[in-house]
Amino acid sequence: MSDTRPPSGPLPRHVAIIMDGNGRWAEERGLPRLEGHRQGAKSVRDIVTYAREIGIRYLTLFAFSSENWGRPADEVAGLMDLLHEYLVEERPTMIKNGIEFSTIGVVEKLPKTVQRMIDGCKKATTGLDGMRLTLALSYGGREEITRALKKIARGVDRGEIDPAEIDESTVKAHLDTHDMPDPDLLIRTSGERRISNFMMWQLAYAELVFTEVAWPDFAREDFNRALMAYQKRERRFGLTTSQLQGGPVYNDAAFVPHEGAKSA
């Protein structure tokens, strides 16, 4: 076990990561892309453990986008196998470490075997309050917002929602992330500086940290560097510096954390 320590200072409550660069990592080494994904899964295990250890309350990982279905069939199949393997192997660790598992995205599109493992992990970890780990699977931000709009429209149709009463909290309540605070910090690995349709609504005021490190090489030290960069930022949420009172400020102060995270 590494004796790495996080930087002192307030930690983000919710960290989201676009785990990018597996394919290039492998190609640079003359390996098949899947080998990059395999190494990437090791980084997932280590960063999840570390985030839990240092007290991050919510960790959301972009594992497979709605657009990634368009990749070559063998890469998609390989990713699904790895996901299945990850869930089988990590379930006991999640339980042991008090990690509550959840997903965002259209999991119904995933292979049935994977869906069963997802259900199993969710059931086995409901209410655990060490950390909430969320995997974004078959996830697209615009698609999520579109699904939310459909649900709201149905609510209006049934007379359950008054259109005049629709506000931001109505939209939030219909997103996959309805029971999570917005990410405070977004990390993207491997040099790309874009959002790629990840959490389009929720990232409104997240601090963005980009690193050149490819996801398979992303280690605790790199996570600490991102936390340090986060701590140097001043989150103003449209206000002025003198209006800020110090202490951690979140852009969704009205958010009520799920049962387990109340001590955060």
Catalytic residue numbers? 20, 68
Single out the residue of 11, 15, 34, 63 in contact with ligand IPE (rule: CB under 6 A).
63
Single out the residue of 50, 58, 64, 101 in contact with ligand IPE (rule: CB under 6 A).
64
Whether the CB-CB separation of 186 and 192 falls below 8 Å is answered with no
* Residue 62 lies near ligand IPE (rule: CB under 6 A): yes
Return the number of the residue (17 or 121) whose C-beta is nearest ligand IPE: 17
Single out the residue of 11, 12, 15, 20 in contact with ligand IPE (rule: CB under 6 A).
20
* Residue 21 lies near ligand IPE (rule: CB under 6 A): yes
Return the number of the residue (5 or 142) whose C-beta is nearest ligand IPE: 142
Q: Residues 27, 22, 142, 105: is their CA dihedral positive or negative?
A: positive
Return the number of the residue (75 or 129) whose C-beta is nearest Mg ion: 75
Total residues contacting ligand IPE (rule CB under 6 A)? 17
* Residue 20 lies near Mg ion (rule: CB under 5 A): yes
Binding segment (CB under 5 A) for Mg ion, from list 12-20, 52-60, 119-127, 228-236? 12-20
Q: How far apart are CA 165 and CA 28, in angstroms?
A: 54
Whether the CB-CB separation of 59 and 132 falls below 8 Å is answered with yes
Single out the residue of 11, 16, 18, 180 in contact with ligand IPE (rule: CB under 6 A).
18
**CA proximity to 24, closest of 14, 16, 35:** 35
* Residue 196 lies near ligand IPE (rule: CB under 6 A): yes
DSSP structure class, residue 67: G
DSSP string over 142-182: HHHHHHHHHHHHHHHHTTSS-GGG--HHHHHHTSTTTTSPP
* Residue 184 lies near Mg ion (rule: CB under 5 A): no
Single out the residue of 11, 22, 186, 223 in contact with ligand IPE (rule: CB under 6 A).
22
Helix (H, G, I), strand (E, B) or coil at 185: strand
Single out the residue of 48, 59, 79, 135 in contact with ligand IPE (rule: CB under 6 A).
79
- Tokens matching residue 139: 């996830």
Q: How far apart are CA 82 and CA 114, in angstroms?
A: 10
Please list, in sequence order, all residues whose beta carbon lies within 8 angstroms of the beta carbon of residue 46, skipping any fewer than 6 positions away.
Answer: 219, 220
Return the number of the residue (20 or 184) whose C-beta is nearest ligand IPE: 20
**CA proximity to 198, closest of 65, 59, 44:** 65
Binding segment (CB under 6 A) for ligand IPE, from list 20-28, 46-54, 171-179, 204-212? 20-28
Return the number of the residue (20 or 100) whose C-beta is nearest Mg ion: 20
Place of tokens 């309540």: 173
Rg (CA), the chain: 19
Query: For the chain, how many residues are written?
Result: 264
| Minimal distance, residue 153 CB to Mg ion, in Å | 34
The residues of the shown chain that bind ligand IPE, judged by CB under 6 A, are 18-24, 62-65, 68, 79, 190, 192, 194, 196
The residues of the shown chain that bind Mg ion, judged by CB under 5 A, are 20
